[in-house]
Amino acid sequence: MLLAAGLGTRMRPLTEEIPKPLLPVGGRPLIDCALDRLAAAGVLEVVVNGHWQAERLAAHLERRAGPPCTMVRREAELLDTGGAVAAALAERALGPEPFFVVNGDVLWLDGPHPALARIAETFDPARHDALLLVHRTCQVQGEVGDGDFMVDPMGKVRWRKERELVPYVYAGIQLAGPGLFRDAPKGRFGMGLLWSRAIEAGRLAAIVHDGLWFHLSRPADLVEAESSIDARETGKSR
């Protein structure tokens, strides 16, 4: 599932008439970058939730050539990250097997081994309700606050404590089993609610991204991302 329903308020004025996942980086919409990575990982079908400018989002996906096949699930009211996936599961838009959940505005470059393949190879449904991709806060350009998680050498996750600075931020990609959403509330709620429950049960884990990851919150972040990608590909800085 690809999450694309947010309002993108911090990215205004760029998102006043266009959903954030359609913003281009290097001439390519963010959502296409994510879908290309999913296709390369062997994903054949993706549910995309839409709210703000959902018709424009759907029109773009209809014009997109190649895999994966996409289905837009329109939300009359925003359900947030957890509520959106739970609703798709309740409608059986997602199957009974583990599935990726990817933020529609995430942009990453793979390291030595593709991130999605690493997640799939590490995920163990006997031990994990969800496996998160995290990135080192010290390697992120842009504001990430005090980070999100501590991750021990075995991949076990805990939330940042009050006034604590932690080294890892959620990178907007996870592989989740349907069990993560068992007895989930109806309506709007964030994924953090389910992660906290999984942490208590010892069933939330993470792996650290070994490539580049970009925090795209404000218009200036898009410029920084394009500059970094250009420098990596050409060896020249702007």
Residue 31 sits in which domain range? Answer: 2-234
Per-residue pLDDT tens, the chain, 238 aa: give them: 999 998 888 889 988 989 999 999 888 899 999 999 999 999 999 999 999 899 999 999 999 988 999 999 999 999 999 999 999 999 999 989 999 999 999 999 999 999 999 999 999 999 999 999 999 987 775 566 678 889 999 999 999 998 888 899 999 999 999 999 999 999 999 999 999 999 999 999 999 999 989 888 888 888 888 877 876 765 555 5
CA distances to 7, 78, 160 from 17, in Å = 10, 17, 35
> Are the beta carbons of 156 and 202 closer than 8 angstroms?
yes
- CATH number for the domain spanning 104: value is 3.90.550.10
- pLDDT score at 129: 97
- pLDDT score at 70: 95
Three-state DSSP at 160 gives: coil
Residues ≥6 apart with Cβ < 8 Å to 219: 11, 13, 14
| Token digits of residue 27 | 């001439």
Q: How many domains does the chain have?
A: 1
- pLDDT score at 48: 97
- pLDDT score at 174: 98
- pLDDT score at 144: 64
pTM attached to this predicted model: 0.91
